[in-house]
Every structure is written in structure tokens, then in C-alpha cells.
Structure 1
Amino acid sequence: MESLRLFSEALTRHTRKVAEVPFRDWNDAIAHLFRSLSDGGPTIVVIDEFPFLVKASPALPSIIQREVGPGGSGRASAVRLVLCGSAMAVMGGLLSGQAPLRGRASLELVVQPFRYREAADFWGITDPRLAVLVGAVVGGTPAYRHEFTQGDAPAAIDDFDAWVVRTVLNPQTPLFREARYLLAEESAIRDPALYHSVLAAIAAGNNTNGGIAGYIGRRADQITHPLTILKDCALIARDPDMFRPGRARYRIVESLITFYQAIMRKRWAELEIHRADQVWATTRQTFPPRSSARISKPCAGPSPWSPVAPCSPSSPPGSAPARSTTPPTALRSRSTWSRSRPSSRTARAASSPWARPSGAR
């Protein structure tokens, strides 16, 4: 009921009119919203983190559908309702299949993260090597630049290691637990331990169904559902294998999740007691090196940081793999839509657990 009270107070402040009768439920609130803003030009009303409201009031999408449908108070209203949420599975389900709001939205928009160059500019980084390293940790989510790091950015390539220790590995910063929260906020994930294991397997370089199953000690058919859920939540992507037709490889979309699974999760207890220096000193070697060659042909052995271990053009097959410098720009996303849905983060890029192809949701 608190969310309903806050909604009522916000509406009263905007319209400067008090409802004659207090709202009993969301039926009264949504109907009053459309009726009270029926005059004048279009008025944008934004409800952020809509999935949390739906969890508390499952009937809310049906109530909105009734009001914006034939005979509803929203048909003649000036309200343009924008629903935002970062839980991709919930937001995506609002307009799918037999969902009440299917066909009611005039706009559906997934807000993309910054690309590699945009993120570098946003962080004020001019060194392309440093930009790749920072992108491999935080991707292109704008919030990580100021809100999550208090504006702390590495001053130069030599400051990168110290920056990792004082930000992402520092339990006193919001960025420290963000990767865990990204998974926890998805309501479709009911067994976090299993999903963390699947993500850890992918972060360790196991990017096929069989490889992931073998890493976590399950049968391949037992991880089909978790993989589907993670894909629906836009936390992983399934890409076709460029060298093996009919096969696919999985990669983590969010850079921060890959970093957490590969570096932080196994040493979490040490990090919580402020031993970031020791942890990073012993795990830094597993992080992508500062220089590499472009993908030319596959090499033997997967890399924990890339689903396809590339060779340099001059390296013979089977030689030690050089890693790709394809710019990582990954992030998770929110959904955005008008009169029924908007807002957030996603990913794109190349064959790396740090990014996803352009145009992917």
C-alpha cells in the first residue's frame, strides 16, 4: 500500500487537486490518473521500476489494459504512460503472448549502453588501451561512471590496477555488489546458486551447452532452462559458431558480471575483509592483457575472457593464442515503452564474454 500512497501524493502535487475519496487500490488510482489529466496537451507520466510494482500488485497490467482499451478512461486522456524497468524478463513479458498489454504499446524501446568510443569519451579516457581495460570491467553503463564510483576514473594506464582495487574490488563502493544485484533483481531466477554456477562456467571459457554442463556437474538437458532464462533476462547471449555451422556459443552480456564471476566470486570472503590488493595481485594475470591481435582463425584451448581463442595472423594453428582487441561494450538493459513501456542498459560487440553483437536485445 505504500507505493499506492506515494503514487497518490505525487499525483496530487502535480495536479494540485486532492482526490475526493482516497484510493482503495490501483483500480481507483489508474482510473483517476487518466481522468485528472484529460485536458490540455499530452502529459508524460513515467512509472520507473515497474516490475517491482507488478510483483506487489500482479493485476496492475490488466488494470492499465482496461483503462487504455475501448471504453476506458485512457482513450480520451492526455496521459502518455511510460513504464520503465531493468528486469528484462518481466518487461519483455508485458507485451508478449497473451499478456494483457500486448498490442497496447505505441513504442517499445531497449535503451542501449554506450559503445566503446562513446564510453571512452564519457569516462574521459583518451588512451585506447586503457579504454579497453575499463570497458572490460564496467562496459558502457553510464551510471558506473559517477553514481557507482563517485566519479573515480583511472588517470592513466599505470593507474588501472590501483583503480580496480579502490573501486570494483572495494566493499565500500556500490560497484562492489552490483554484479550480484543484477542477477538478484530478475524475478524469473528462482535458484541463484545454479544460475551463478552457469555464469561462472561461461566466464571460465566454457561456452557450449556441453561444456557448461560438464563444468557445473549437470547433464546438458538440466541446464537448458537456466540458459533460456538467462537469455530472456538479457544476461547472456547465444551466438552462432562462425566455424561450426549449426552450433552455438554462449557469452555473458554484462562486462561486470564476467569480471565478478572470473575474479571476485571465488575470493569474495577475502574481498569483504579488504584484501583487494592481495586478491588482484594473484588474479590479475587472468585478466585480458594490454595488447593482442585480431581474430584470424581458431586456436586450441578456450580463454576465460573470450569464447573463441584467436590466433595472430602469423601464428600457426595450435600456437599460443593471442587475444582479440575487439572493443568490449557490454551491458545489460532496461525496457522502455510509451503508453505501456521504457528505460535501461544492454550490450553489443564481438566474440568476447565482455560484449554482444550490435542489434542484439
Structure 2
Amino acid sequence: MRIPKPADMFDRTWEWAQLTNFVSDEQPGASLGIVSGRRRQGKTFLLEAVCEATEGFYYAATEVVSAEESLRQLGEALGRHIGSPGPIRFASWEEAIDGLLALGKVRPTPVVLDEFPYMVRGAPQLPSVLQRALSPRRRERRESRARILLCGSSISFMGNLLTGSAPLRGRASMELIVPTFDFRAAREFWGLDDHRLAALVYLIVGGTPAYKSEFLRGAAPARMEDFDDWVINHVLNPASSLFREVRFLLAEDPTLRDTGLYHTVLAAVAEGNCTRGSIASRIERKATDISHHLTVLADAGLLAVEPDAFRQNRSAYRIIEPLVRFYHSIMRPMFAQLEQVRPGRTERLWQAAQPRFRSAVAGPVFEHMCRTWAHDIASEETLGGLAVRVLSGVVHEPASRTSHEVDLVSMDEAGNLLAIGEATWGDTLGMAHLERMEKISALLKARGREPKAITLFSAAGFMPALRAAAAKSGGQVQLVDLERLYTGE
């Protein structure tokens, strides 16, 4: 049965299809699905919409102090859902889960347990209870078509439910991660026609839908001339919900303890320290002392660990969420000053931060946008094949004992090199940039890895001589400006 997507739901067509296929499955037997993703991405909106469309049961757990209180709240919610004259009292979690399975006796019915980590915090045995309740030959499971959906914003916690020797390993038939919008979807969501303005907004708030719909109530810059005022009034303003959002993101994740050290690690990465050793050196710790913290931040979806395209056993850490990078690069160093609201002070602080914004925020986030374009959008004709991996890397030149950084390295499924590229936010690219990439291409050719194309990305445009050279290259030199980034392939 096809369930129409709600008219007020932007994008999320694929996610909606996965959820509705899962909850409308007519096969006998209860089934389990896992839904996760960072906070503010619209998971609750999706799940509530599914329950509204199918008359399913939705329950959002709260931070309670005891399993008894959690059971009481669940019973009250279930009583309201089925129209019971009074709250339902469960004596145990085993009894509660069987009560939820009973909702699916007549037809396939979604049963959503949102903020599942809160439930497990008060009742650590709950995953094991679910494991037993969903035993393949258990009568209560076989006679139910409940489609149980466990949801949580702690990516590491939710992922661990199905790994290793976890009780629910092998029990789930769906694991859905709700991502942030990419830069193209974000532009459409914010309703921005100007590509440069759309990119600037993305550099700060990324593709998190709640930042527009809930935090800013739709406030967006209408023109380029409005951008600075928008940043000052809605991002750097102590009264704005965005002002302390990054602090709350870490505080709300139950897997992150000692949040001060985690913030320090993120700040070091935002400054350009991308290896474990350089991060440790910046915060004056041993590399072994921060291994756990880096792993936890990566599991939480705040850091990405990207291997070097050309050097084995070397990797770089990058901040995934643009707002986290903006906070640690721009806001955190002057947080106390921003809190002291005085006429004109925030404007002066923002203007003074422009060089740091261009180098520490715009440059890295724009590179990420370009890698996304190369991986998800660029045609095979552009790159010389289908890009399965897009990384960055460093090419060593032994003769001169120098190293050359490559912003984009596109490879196919077999690991063959398709294209190398450079991405810059603020520089107009010219022939010198092409000659640098051609030199790197020659070094790689000597090692048997000649790229098929050179891709040059710039938000500031290209000099006429470079455009002419690209036009004569027969497609071997690809120029990508903001217009092509947003509308072309």
C-alpha cells in the first residue's frame, strides 16, 4: 500500500518511502526498525507523520529517573492512544512490550519509541527484553504485525544496538539514518535563488532543517546585502537559539562526557589541526590520551575520519557540521565579548573575524561541498567515470622534497584515479593553478596513476586565460563555479 507523503514535508522522499514500506508490510510477524541521525534533522517529524498517516502509536520518552516512572508514562500514552478510560499500568517491561505487540494483531501498525536512549538509561535491560519478545517462534511475535521503530539522536548509541554481541543484533529488518540536507537541497529549503548567498548561508548553518523552521522561524537573508545583518541578528545574537546550539549538541548526547575536552578537540580541528598528532600537540595532550575522544566524536557524527588518497595509514579528521566549525572558529574565541551586548559591538567583532571566516570556515566547508558534488552529482563524462570515493591527499615530490596538497581525488570502484582537483572559496583561479595541477598529474603519471581529468572549483570565478585553456582541453580540464555547483553536473 502506497502512503502519500505529507504536503508539508520537504524532500525526504527516499526516507519516507523506506519508512512507509516498512510499516505497511503485510507479512505476519512483528518486525523491528532502527531510525537514527543527528538532532534537528526531522526524525520526529517523519515518525509522527508516519503514525498520523497509519493511525500508529508514537511515544517520545523523557529523561526520567527510574524505570517505574518510564513504565508509567508509557502506559499513560498507550491508554490515551487506544481510548482506555484510564491509564494502563504495566508491572514490567516484558508486559509493556507485549502490550505494544498487541497493537499489531489486526493490521500492520507502526509502534514508535522515540528518544530510545532515554528509555535504556532508566532500564538497561530493555534491549534484552526486546530481543526475547521478538524471538522468531514466540507466539506474541508471530501473531502480531506491529512494526516497532526505535529512534534516537545518539548515532553511536543507536548503531551499537545492532553491532557485535548486542542483544538486538540480527533482529532489525531496517536501519535508517536520516541525514542533513546537502547544499543543493538546503538552498531549495531556505528558498534562496542567489547561489552565492545560498552558499554563504550553508557555510554557517549547513543543511540542518530545524535551524530554519524551528530556531529562526524562517528568517533568512533575502539579498546578499542582508547577509551580514542576518549573521549578526540571528547567529551571533545571544538571544538567538543558534547562539548556544553547539554547546547543547554535545551536552545532549549521552555518550559524550567531559564535554569541555570534546569542545577543545573540536576547536583544535577547526584551527586546521587534522591529524591525531597535531590535535594532541595543540591541546597539549598525548595522542593516546585523545584516541577515545576522537572515536566518540566520529561515532557521534561530529567528526569524519578520511583516509589520505595517496598515503597508506594516514588519515585526516574533519568537522562535519558547518555550525560546529563556525562556532569553534568564530564564536568560541570571542564568546564572552558577544554576550556583552553593546551598540555596534557585534558588527565590529564580525567584521574583524572576516579573515578567519574565509580561511577557517568558508575554505574547508566549500571543499566539502565540492567533494559532495564530485561524489553525488558530477556526471561520468565530467570525471571520466563514476566516482565512488572522493578524498583529499598529499603527493610527495622526492626530487625537490616538497609535498603537494590535492583537495579532491576522485576514484572509481576499483580504486582507479579519475580526477584530481583544487577548490578555493575566495581566489579567482588562473593558469598558475592549472599548471600546479598539471605538475601533480605528471607526478602521478610517473607512478602509473595518471588522472583522466583536472577539476578546478572556485566560488570567485576563473580568469579568461584559464577558461580558454579549459575550452581547448577536450574535457580534460573542468571548471566548476557556483552556478555549475548548484545546477550542473
Specify the TM-score bucket, using the shorter chain as the normaliser: 0.7 to 0.9
AA paired with 1:207? C
- Does residue 1:28 correspond to 2:100, yes or no? no
AA paired with 1:314? M
| Secondary structure of the structure 2 residue equivalent to 1:3 | helix
Within 5 A, what are the aligned runs for 1:146-157?
146-157=213-224
Within 5 A, what are the aligned runs for 1:203-352?
203-274=270-341, 275-288=345-358, 312=429, 314-315=431-432, 325=458
AA paired with 2:432? S
Distance 1:2 1:278, change over 3 A: farther
Which residue in 1 is equivalent to 2:106? 40
- Does residue 1:117 correspond to 2:184, yes or no? yes
Quote the offset at 1:270 in angstroms: 1.9
| Secondary structure of the structure 1 residue equivalent to 2:144 | coil
Task: Quote the Cα distance in structure 1 between the aligned partners of 2:71 and 2:239.
Answer: 33
- Does residue 1:162 correspond to 2:229, yes or no? yes
| Secondary structure of the structure 1 residue equivalent to 2:318 | strand
Within 5 A, what are the aligned runs for 1:58-97?
58-69=124-135, 70-71=137-138, 73-97=140-164
Q: Per residue, is there more strand in 1 or in 2?
A: 2
Task: Quote the Cα distance in structure 2 between the aligned partners of 1:62 and 1:278.
Answer: 56
Task: Return 137-146 or 277-286, whichever deviates more.
Answer: 277-286
Quote the offset at 1:207 in angstroms: 0.6
Task: Quote the Cα distance in structure 1 between the aligned partners of 2:252 and 2:211.
Answer: 17
Task: Quote the Cα distance in structure 1 between the aligned partners of 2:266 and 2:120.
Answer: 27
- Does residue 1:129 correspond to 2:196, yes or no? yes
Task: Quote the Cα distance in structure 1 between the aligned partners of 2:313 and 2:171.
Answer: 37
Query: In the alignment, which of 172, 184, 192 is matched to residue 239 of structure 2?
Result: 172
Distance 1:75 1:123, change over 3 A: same
Task: Return 187-196 or 93-102, whichever deviates more.
Answer: 187-196
Task: Quote the Cα distance in structure 1 between the aligned partners of 2:159 and 2:275.
Answer: 25
Within 5 A, what are the aligned runs for 1:3-14?
3-14=70-81
AA paired with 1:110? I
Conserved 8 A contact 1:240-1:247: yes
Task: Quote the Cα distance in structure 2 between the aligned partners of 1:8 and 1:242.
Answer: 53
Task: Return 9-18 or 260-269, whichever deviates more.
Answer: 9-18
For these two proteins, the number of residue pairs brought into alignment is: 315
Which of 1 and 2 has greater Rg? 2
Quote the offset at 1:169 in angstroms: 1.4
- Does residue 1:101 correspond to 2:168, yes or no? yes
Task: Quote the Cα distance in structure 2 between the aligned partners of 1:263 and 1:246.
Answer: 32
Which residue in 2 is equivalent to 1:356? none
Task: Quote the Cα distance in structure 2 between the aligned partners of 1:248 and 1:6.
Answer: 46
Which residue in 2 is equivalent to 1:189? 256
AA paired with 2:189? F
Quote the offset at 1:18 in angstroms: 5.5
Which residue in 2 is equivalent to 1:51? 117
Distance 1:47 1:276, change over 3 A: farther
AA paired with 2:150? L
Conserved 8 A contact 1:89-1:186: no
Residue deviations 1:193-212, cap 9 Å, x none? 21111100110111111111
For structure 1, the 5+ residue unaligned runs are 303-307, 318-322, 327-361
Task: Quote the Cα distance in structure 2 between the aligned partners of 1:146 and 1:38.
Answer: 34
Distance 1:76 1:273, change over 3 A: farther
Distance 1:183 1:72, change over 3 A: farther
Distance 1:18 1:135, change over 3 A: same
Provide TM-score, normalisation by structure 2: 0.59
| Secondary structure of the structure 1 residue equivalent to 2:140 | coil
Provide TM-score, normalisation by structure 1: 0.79
Task: Quote the Cα distance in structure 2 between the aligned partners of 1:197 and 1:19.
Answer: 50
Task: Quote the Cα distance in structure 1 between the aligned partners of 2:266 and 2:291.
Answer: 13
Task: Quote the Cα distance in structure 1 between the aligned partners of 2:279 and 2:457.
Answer: 22
Quote the offset at 1:285 in angstroms: 2.4
Give aligned-pair identity as a percent.
Answer: 46
Task: Quote the Cα distance in structure 2 between the aligned partners of 1:11 and 1:38.
Answer: 13
Distance 1:297 1:135, change over 3 A: same
Quote the offset at 1:229 in angstroms: 1.1
AA paired with 1:120? R
Quote the offset at 1:111 in angstroms: 0.9
Quote the offset at 1:297 in angstroms: 9.2
Residue deviations 1:62-104, cap 9 Å, x none? 1111111142633321211111111111111111111111111
Residue deviations 1:148-205, cap 9 Å, x none? 1121001111211111111121222221111111111222222212111110011011
Quote the offset at 1:33 in angstroms: 1.6
| Secondary structure of the structure 2 residue equivalent to 1:258 | helix
RMSD between superposed Cα atoms in Å: 2.9
| Secondary structure of the structure 2 residue equivalent to 1:176 | coil
For structure 2, the 5+ residue unaligned runs are 1-67, 372-391, 395-401, 406-421, 437-455, 460-489
